[in-house]
Amino acid sequence: MPLSKSSEIADVDPSSGGIMFGDGALAHLESMLIELSIDSLLLIVDQKAYAESGAKRTVMPALSCRRHDLFSDFQQNPVLDDVVAAETRLNSGKYDGILAIGGGSAIDVAKTAAVCAGQASSLHDLITGRASISRPGLPVIAVPTTAGTGAEVTQFAAIYVDGVKHSISHPGILPCAVLVDPLLTHSMPPSLTAATGLDALCQAIESFWSVASTEKSRRLSRRAIELAINHLEDAVLRPTSESRTGMSLAAHLAGQAINITKTTAAHALSYTLTTNYGVPHGMAVAISLSPLLRYNHGVTDLDCTNPHGVDHVRTATNETIHLLGCQTIEQAVARIERLLRNINCPVRLSEVGVKTAIQRRDIASRVNAERLGNNPRQLDTAAIVDLLESIR
């Protein structure tokens, strides 16, 4: 897709700023800094992605006449201490803004530090929801180097506190500007392409069936599903410029969709797999996607949680089946599982170390209640255990 502010993404820009999408988008960083009057900035970056993606080579000339510092001291799954360190760095200098470059981790640390710095309450209380954000934060320019999280266009960020994943959410967290340059994703190895791409696919599907879905979110997620299912396998196994661009757009649109709806049960079930078993986030989410599609497809009047009713949910799951290029629920389940196998991702819990009934019950007891509440069919503990048993 050519560089654009006005093509497929024109009507879905975040209200707080602009998006530039396409090969070479990052080359417009300097003009964006001028437009936003940013003369001093903190770079919050994933060092490996910053260097290997080619971002550093393009960014440095734009910063040659601007005061800038770099922060990269955070984990793959950011924890509270990572954000505290970033906030300390922000408070030690007088910055006009933040440039976030990397995957979801770098962008989430940047968004959280930007909005929390200078707030009256502690970071711990803000992230865990014990306190509210009272004033806007520093402007953030987000530059994703992966095609997965869509963090560049969401008003929430995920941070772990004492081993528990928390999602801080506020309109002020949304970056003020976004540069999505698919060229930056070309250096991703197959495993990272698979994990991040699955996150995008899952977010798109979950947004599509979410109880909070709207006409706009469904338009975004519909297109994201089509793009991901058509380009993910190629991007992992035989990457081309077309498949990389397709996945970048899929992730970006899925991010905008979940910014409206948030995610559902697949994400709710994933967090323990990542925290306790080390499963990369996208793979942890995808492992329950096909059984959840089957489960939600079987919704009844007794367990429907969507205010629009059973027919609305069945329409959504039927359309999901068709968007996956299938005619029946069984074909769709097989399609998802075949995709996972083809790109070397786990399909069974036993493949990631979850081998006993006790382990499966433990996962069921640790689900994220907020994400679970967005699912269109009710899932109590017994139903979750049954679902996990089906993929043991």
CA distance 319 to 369: 26
Q: Which residues of 195-214 are buried (b: 16+ CB within 10 A; e: fewer)?
A: bbbbbbbbbbbbbbbbbbbe
Measured from the Cβ of residue 96, the count of other Cβ atoms closer than 10 Å reads 16
Going along the chain from its start, the domains and CATH numbers come out as 10-184 (3.40.50.1970), 189-389 (1.20.1090.10)
Q: Can you give the pTM of this predicted structure?
A: 0.94
What is 111-122 written as a DSSP string? HHHHHHTT-SS-
pLDDT in tens, 312-349: 999 999 999 999 999 999 999 999 999 999 999 999 99
Under a CB-based contact definition with an 8 Å cutoff, are residues 8 and 22 in contact? no
Distance of CA 309 to the CA centre of its chain: 28
Under a CB-based contact definition with an 8 Å cutoff, are residues 116 and 133 in contact? yes
Amino acid at 103: G
Under a CB-based contact definition with an 8 Å cutoff, are residues 101 and 128 in contact? no
What is 201-241 written as a DSSP string? HHHHHHHHH-TT--HHHHHHHHHHHHHHHHHHHHHHHS--H
Q: What is the pLDDT along the chain (392 residues), one digit of tens a residue?
A: 344 443 455 433 333 348 999 999 999 999 999 999 999 999 999 999 999 999 999 999 999 999 999 999 999 999 999 999 999 999 888 899 999 999 999 999 999 999 888 787 888 888 888 888 877 789 999 999 999 999 999 999 999 998 888 888 889 899 999 999 999 999 999 999 999 999 999 999 999 999 999 999 999 999 999 999 999 999 999 999 999 999 999 999 999 999 999 999 999 999 999 999 999 999 999 999 999 999 999 999 999 999 999 999 999 999 999 999 999 999 999 999 999 999 999 999 999 999 999 999 999 999 988 889 999 999 999 999 999 999 99
Of the candidates 126, 137, 134, which has an alpha carbon nearest to the alpha carbon of residue 173?
137
Consecutive H or E run containing 310: helix 310-323
